[in-house]
Amino acid sequence: MQDVAIVGVGQSVFSRKCGVSIRELCFEAYTEAMEGLDITNNGIDASIICSAPEYDKQRSPAGSISEYLKLTPKPSFYVETVCSSSSTGLRVGWSLIKAGLHKVVAVIGFQKMSDLTSRDAAERMSRGGDIIWESPFGISMPAGYAMYARAHMAKYGTTEEQLAKVRVKNSHYGAANPKATYRKELSLEEILGSEVIASPLKKFDCCANADGASCIIIASRDIAKRITNIPIWIIGLGAATDTMTMSGRESLTGLRCAQEAAKQAYKMAGVGPKDIDVAEVHDCFTIAELMAYEDLGFAKPGEGVGLIEDKETYVGGKIPVNVDGGLLSKGHPIGATGGSQIRTIVKQLRGEAGETQVKGAEIGLVHNIGGVGQYGNVTILRR
């Protein structure tokens, strides 16, 4: 079984209204991922298309996208785990190469959310939870994470100001990201003064719906060393699923799926939290980033706030996190998000991150969550 490397990464600009089709969005990401590779479309053995259904009129988008990208007649597969779809796609692609079925796989994530109203999009997202016992009664994404925030506050004394400091950081880095939906720095006062969405979460504690696509090209060792100068190796993969119902969760102060996925990924990679040089975590809400610090072992339970208070998750700190602005600044085109996170870490490990580069970064981690903590993927990469 050969080692598997990421050889190309790409992302469209994330925006509130892209004005193009899903095929064109994916073409933008795919084109960037293929830049500089000594390979053509004919060298792609298979494609994995990742998104959340019910946002698009096109059923079975994998066939449509693979045709547009001129990847037919090679096989194309469709993968979905809500917001973590494209990191699940990476896991599937890795498995196909490890199994010897394919040598080079394109993992393409996308979502075009602007065709729906915010109300309709929120309703569809809530169906990612249990549609019999919870989502009909108001467990939307903001409401679910607001419950996590309240539980964390009750147990550990976390404050609304500490949550807001996560957005301060991410807006600072988002302002430097040309692919981000929101490129404006926000002050603590602006964040705390924004309208309440689901108490204690305010508008600026929440990421926004967006249109966008991402692409990751992965290859077996023999191919990777031939077609790129800087392969980035996939050394750890972890995945877990928690209960669909929040009422079935053991705790509301952390995500069990993330904790379990992290444990698997660290074990497979042979590293621990202290070995990670830079991380991308699923900050769909400010509380989600704080919980990720703890779920990934960067801080003990209840002590994640210390990292943001002391600016340890900024560039130059102990563990830089979301230095591309995270979901809070980039926006969250559901199926594209995991691939965008992976793109950021790959560029960091290649030394291509410009003004947000973490000096000497060699090991990076991606934490991608689906739904209100139903699905968790943790991926560890090494230069």
Report CA 86 to chain centroid distance, whole Å.
Answer: 8
Q: Could you tell me if 291 and 148 are in contact, meaning their C-beta atoms sit under 8 angstroms apart?
A: yes
Interior CA angle at 148 toward 278 and 140, to 5°? 105
The DSSP symbol for 382 reads: E
Residue type, 259: Q
State the catalytic residue, choosing from 50, 83, 257, 284. Answer: 83
By 3-state DSSP, what share of the chain in percent is helix, strand and coil, each rounded to 5?
A: 40, 20, 40
8 Å CB contact between 209 and 113: yes
Q: Are strands 278-280 and 363-370 parallel, antiparallel or unpaired?
A: parallel
Task: Provide the 3-class DSSP secondary structure of residue 60.
Answer: coil
Q: Assess whether the previous peptide bond of 53 is cis (omega < 30° from 0).
A: no
* Catalytic residue, candidates 102, 152, 332, 367: 332
Question: Taking the chain, what is the end-to-end CA distance rounded to the nearest angstrom?
Answer: 20
Alpha carbon of 70 to those of 31, 44, 45, 49, 66: distances in Å? 12, 10, 12, 14, 6
Count of Cβ atoms closer than 10 Å to residue 193 Cβ: 12
Is 18 one of the catalytic residues? no
Cα–Cα distance, 364 to 12 (Å, whole number):
22
Which residues have a Cβ under 8 Å from the Cβ of 40 and sit 6 or more positions away? none
- Contact call for residues 366 and 87 (beta carbons, < 8 A): yes
Q: Is 332 a catalytic residue?
A: yes
Positions annotated as catalytic residues are: 83, 332
